[in-house]
Chains A and B, each alone.
Chain A
């Protein structure tokens, strides 16, 4: 009995998933890249406002945020690549 219930539930779930995929394809997909772009922009803003020393401008809380470096340098690297700079800007953090 229970195995049958499970089987039916499995089918229902598969259908629901298919429905969700169609829904996403129709309504969500067009915004996907926009949301991703917004996410990246916000992340960059955080990086550059809070960790301006990466750009060579002193940050007043630099000393309190040093331990965040490992989390952020990779993002910094991605940022300058995305901004069309194959090398890190002069004066700041030289990741490449």
Chain B
């Protein structure tokens, strides 16, 4: 399947995923760089704990969007930092409203939550939903360089599962609220003072669920979102991508294209490299037949190493030329 590259990579939310080391970070930076140069307010987000984006751009980045060039902001989300920040915020809120005798115990309980499995995923995801809320204002484009695959897939499945779970809690909480209202009606003035009219628990849960729904609506909308798989023309990369494409599609996230990176160009010198090139061509052929419904783009193996804007421009030209 062939397609116009400038249309394929133009989604408002673009995920780049793939096995570690295939060049996601560089390609994500190249796409974001190009979009920004064309005048779109672009945010490049890295969720990879390795933080290679800083290395690609040759500068230090933080957990807040940093402007790096006109129209381009870059941020690296650090799950550990996000989790710590959330915990600190909760503790601050709690200190205001908890009876003094319980503060120590509540804090102990919260520290347990901090080290529980999934805490950092949750914090990362929470930050992510807030970023998606910023789509359109101020950012027109969000390019996400995802962490290696398994982790990303779990992250993308979260809105579905969390919304369902929180939906259940909300249903239960509504029953509590209804009964409390009923009780107030029959109990007269005595109970009226003891039960509050609005339910802060319900309000918090509903805000969460609404945000999860908004995120889910955006990332499953093929007009706004696209997932791009990056792979290298090798067997293992191909096999993992075949599996991952299924999973991403199953979660309702539109797979937009495949980018085969570091394809050995012609002409080659010597039998060894020629053989290698042929193997890659066979692999490309398999990609085209087994994943026929997705457009395939190629970026050749270049004679440059990653190093700043000029490199990014060149990579973007290769990618978007087709």
A-side interface residues toward B, CB under 8 Å? 24, 28-29, 31-32, 35-36, 38-39, 42-43, 45-46, 49-50, 53-54, 58, 60-74, 93-95
Contact = CB atoms under 8 A, between A and B. Distances in A.
B110 A66 contact: yes
Contacts of B173: 46, 50
A73 B98 contact: yes
A2 B30 CA distance: 79
B186 A94 contact: no
A36 B183 contact: yes
Contacts of A93: 105, 109
A66 B179 contact: no
B179 A61 contact: no
Nearest to B97: A70
Contacts of B200: 71
A66 B119 CA distance: 11
12 contacts: A35-B182, A42-B179, A46-B169, A60-B118, A63-B116, A66-B87, A69-B98, A69-B109, A70-B98, A70-B106, A71-B200, A71-B201
A42 B175 contact: yes
Contacts of B105: 73, 93-95
Interface of B: 83, 86-87, 89-90, 93-94, 97-99, 102, 105-106, 108-110, 112-113, 116, 118-119, 122-123, 126, 162, 165-166, 169, 172-173, 175-176, 179-180, 182-183, 186-188, 200-201, 204-205, 208
Given A62-B116, A63-B122, A74 B99 contact: yes
Given A36-B187, A43-B176, A70-B106, A64 B116 contact: no
Contacts of B186: 24, 28-29, 31-32, 35
B80 to A, nearest CB: 14
Contacts of B165: 60-61
Contacts of B99: 74
A8 B201 CA distance: 44
B162 A62 contact: no
A40 B108 CA distance: 27
A61 B183 CA distance: 30
Contact of A62 (B113, B126, B166): B113
